[in-house]
Amino acid sequence: MATPLVTDLRLPTHRVLGRDKDRFLNEENPFEAMMSRFDRAAELLDLDPGIYKILRNPEKQIIISIPVQFDNGDVEVFTGFRVLYNTSRGPAKGGIRFDTQVTLEEVKALAAWMTWKCAVVNIPFGGSKGGVICDPLKMSVGELERLTRRYTAGIISLLGPDSDVPAPDVNTNERVMAWVMDTYSMHVRHTVTSVVTGKPVEMGGSLGRREATGRGCMIVAKEALQYLGMPVQGTTVAVQGFGNVGSVAAQMLQREGCTITAIGDRSGGIVNPRGIDVDDAIRYVAEHKTLEGYPKGDAISNEDLLTLEVDVLVPAALENVITSKNAGNIRAKVICEGANGPTTAGADAILDEKGIFVIPDILANAGGVTVSYFEWVQDRGGYFWSEQLVNDRLREIMTRSFRDVLNLSQQHKVNMRTAAYMLAISRVATVHKLRGIYA
């Protein structure tokens, strides 16, 4: 087992540059959660105060009203956001989320995370994110299409293969990306496949994109096990969230020899100490929509799933599930953050004290954006790769990034999250320094 890393987040406040809020004031505000980690890394890097100010602010934030006519003739107006956090290293890259819980603060945080994530894996993108406050599950396909097209038209001045490239996120998928691509193409009057990623393979999507985030989680989890001297065979794993990321991560870890002892989704969790057949559970969800009633295990609450005694915990559902309230009860040895922002800043210090090795979201789930980058490259080149080539190149980038972050964490005696932020911020800051400030 590795030596515990130094990770006290409770810095003397006067040493944090330009701080405008108490970092523990609102533990679950995603932008504050991101900023508190950013501040910590910025301080350790002794970041230039001017660059610090630039990186602490999003470049552009758009709020739009989106009128949509429902199938019954009624009109509803939805609110949509697009935030370009930073584009110094390349076009902005970030998903579109359709959800009732979307806020500008959340979109800002997610756009910043995208900036750091692309820098951690060293792909030539900046970070952005978009969202619409709506409940897509209550809308017809036609209503969803009209919402998507009008939202796309509302943010079209930002979009483009060289300026801002959306992708799917919570409650958006390949079909939604196809509408975004078509709307943009109609506006510019020619087909532009590279304006979005996560498209259907038939229209310029990449092989391997659907599995990429879960595959990336598997690759870095194995790296962590190897570093900690733990065997992969028989390693026990609990996965919260059984959607795109969670189900694929569980499937791939099982194929590598791990025993998946618990899985869960919004309907609750299933535990089986002898191991769950992930392929069988995926088939069950395809038929029944959720894991509710899955017969081959015992029911468990989502809260209890997080505190099971397992080797690896993969939170792959929502933000803020590991907080200062439950971090003390977590018994996993490794946490591999499939979701964005599953751990609050308040929980970080507690996990460190317990010696839990956390692979942070901006590294652990970067496989998705990495293969999105491959998709953008393939679209621009008009030449498509085999799935094997996609997977091989993904492995190369995820492995190298894990080792880069680990080396930095050892060098500075900080945890993996702080090291990942340090690596990302230093890469973005270097480009700002080289480019200078346009005036």
Residue with smaller CB distance to ligand NAD, 256 or 292? 292
Put the strands of the sheet holding 126-133 in their side by side order: 60-69, 75-86, 126-133, 92-99, 164-168
Binding of residue 272 to ligand NAD (CB under 6 A):
no
Contacts of 26 (CB under 8 A, 6+ apart): 32
Residue with smaller CB distance to ligand NAD, 32 or 169? 169
Binding of residue 374 to ligand NAD (CB under 6 A):
no
Binding of residue 242 to ligand NAD (CB under 6 A):
yes
Catalytic residue among 93, 108, 117, 129: 129
Binding of residue 401 to ligand NAD (CB under 6 A):
no
Asked if residues 339 and 316 have their Cβ atoms less than 8 Å apart, the reply is yes
Binding of residue 213 to ligand NAD (CB under 6 A):
yes
Which residue is it, tokens 């996120």? 169
SS3 236: strand
Residue with smaller CB distance to ligand NAD, 42 or 291? 291
Binding of residue 368 to ligand NAD (CB under 6 A):
yes
Residue with smaller CB distance to ligand NAD, 5 or 210? 210
Per-residue CA distances from 359 to 184, 242, 334, 415 (Å): 37, 19, 8, 9
Q: Which token pair is 226? A: 């190897």
Q: Where are the beta strands (DSSP E) in 217-303?
A: 236-240, 259-265, 268-271, 298-300
Residue 197 CA to chain centroid, in angstroms? 15
Among residues 318, 349, 377, 431, the one that binds ligand NAD under rule CB under 6 A: 318
Binding of residue 36 to ligand NAD (CB under 6 A):
no
**In the complex, least distance from residue 416 CB atom to ligand NAD, rounded to whole angstroms:** 17
299: number of Cβ within 10 Å: 15
**In the complex, least distance from residue 262 CB atom to ligand NAD, rounded to whole angstroms:** 12
Binding of residue 170 to ligand NAD (CB under 6 A):
yes
Asked if residues 354 and 334 have their Cβ atoms less than 8 Å apart, the reply is no
**In the complex, least distance from residue 339 CB atom to ligand NAD, rounded to whole angstroms:** 3
Report which DSSP code applies to 160. Answer: B
Among residues 99, 145, 169, 375, the one that binds ligand NAD under rule CB under 6 A: 169
In the complex, which residue's CB is closest to ligand NAD? Answer: 243
**In the complex, least distance from residue 122 CB atom to ligand NAD, rounded to whole angstroms:** 17
Query: Is 222 one of the catalytic residues?
Result: no
Binding of residue 338 to ligand NAD (CB under 6 A):
yes
**CA–CA gap between residue 410 and residue 420 (Å, rounded):** 12
Binding of residue 391 to ligand NAD (CB under 6 A):
no
φ, ψ for residue 390, nearest 5 deg: -60, -50
**In the complex, least distance from residue 281 CB atom to ligand NAD, rounded to whole angstroms:** 11
Binding of residue 208 to ligand NAD (CB under 6 A):
no
**In the complex, least distance from residue 214 CB atom to ligand NAD, rounded to whole angstroms:** 8
DSSP string, 283-321: HHHHHHSSSTT-SSSEEE-HHHHHTS--SEEEE-S-SS-
Among residues 124, 161, 243, 275, the one that binds ligand NAD under rule CB under 6 A: 243
Among residues 245, 252, 253, 271, the one that binds ligand NAD under rule CB under 6 A: 245
Residue with smaller CB distance to ligand NAD, 125 or 242? 242
**CA–CA gap between residue 33 and residue 113 (Å, rounded):** 11
Exposure b/e, 110-144, CB count within 10 A at least 16 = b: bbbbbbbbbbbbebebbbbbbbbbbebeebeeebb
222-241 residues near ligand NAD, rule: CB under 6 A: 240-241
Asked if residues 429 and 51 have their Cβ atoms less than 8 Å apart, the reply is yes
Binding of residue 119 to ligand NAD (CB under 6 A):
no
Among residues 265, 311, 352, 375, the one that binds ligand NAD under rule CB under 6 A: 265
Span of 27-35, 51-59, 313-321, 423-431 interacting with ligand NAD by CB under 6 A: 313-321
H-helix or E-strand spanning residue 92: strand 92-99
Binding of residue 201 to ligand NAD (CB under 6 A):
no
Among residues 172, 244, 343, 344, the one that binds ligand NAD under rule CB under 6 A: 244
Binding of residue 314 to ligand NAD (CB under 6 A):
no
**CA–CA gap between residue 159 and residue 150 (Å, rounded):** 14
13: number of Cβ within 10 Å: 10
Among residues 261, 302, 391, 418, the one that binds ligand NAD under rule CB under 6 A: 302
For binding to ligand NAD (CB under 6 A), which residues are involved? 169-170, 213, 240-246, 264-266, 302, 316-318, 338-340, 365, 368
Residues acting as catalytic residues: 129
